[in-house]
Amino acid sequence: MSLNHDDSQDAPQPKAKGKIAQRRVARSLAMQALYQWHMAGQSLNEIEAQFRVDNDFSGVDGAYFHDILTGVARQKTELDASFAPFLSIPLEELDPVELAILRLSAWELTSRVDVPYKVVINEGIELAKVFGATDGHKFVNGVLDKLAPVLRAAEVKAAKR
């Protein structure tokens, strides 16, 4: 399942070079898989297997992709609760793409302290620009800007010095 809003859906994915690029592709695929999980209700194991068959994983950090999927699924309730106070609408009314991005980003903020919070926010914004609604990236940015100081207080405080 692809969420691209252009005609290049069938184009092969570019080969990602380096850890940063491979993680970026992993996030993009994981966000799409989380969207599918939310919309179709399939098991994440089925979805992960499908994504690994349907996509060239040679330029993907496959372990990171797996960690995102299993981490978000395991912590979904806690992740939703972490960003719900910063939403301007009820969680149930969120655009499913933005919901997938917020869950992925909240998971990274809580579980991957090796990824700087500014990178997490930027990656979330970029995913929203590619896959989200017209101003979805602004919404995602606003929520993550409020969430980061809660989940990464020391890091955010240190960055402001």
Residue 8 lies in a domain: no
Domain count, the chain: 1
Query: How far is it, in rounded angstroms, from Cα 20 to Cα 158?
Result: 23
Instruction: Collect all residues with Cβ–Cβ distance below 8 Å to 115 and sequence separation of at least 6.
Output: 108
The angle that helices 136-151 and 117-131 make with each other, rounded to 10 degrees, is 160
Q: Among candidates 98, 96, 77, which has minimal Cα distance to 143? A: 98
* Residue 95 domain flag: yes
Phi-psi region of 101 (alpha: psi -120 to 50; beta: other; left: phi over 0): alpha
Give the chain's radius of gyration (CA, Å).
15
How many other C-beta atoms are found inside a 10 Å radius of the C-beta of residue 38? 15
Q: Domain for residue 3, yes or no? A: no
Q: Which two tokens stand for residue 69?
A: 């999927």
CATH number at residue 142: 1.10.940.10
Q: Where are the alpha helices (DSSP H) in the chain?
A: 18-40, 44-54, 62-83, 96-111, 117-131, 136-151, 153-160
Is the pLDDT at 14 greater than 50? The verdict is no
| pLDDT tens digits for range 113-152 | 999 999 999 999 999 999 999 999 999 999 999 999 999 9
Domain with 78, as residue range(s), is 19-160
Tell me whether residue 74 is in a domain: yes
Q: Is residue 153 part of a domain?
A: yes
pLDDT in tens, 67-110: 999 999 999 999 999 999 999 999 999 999 999 999 999 999 99
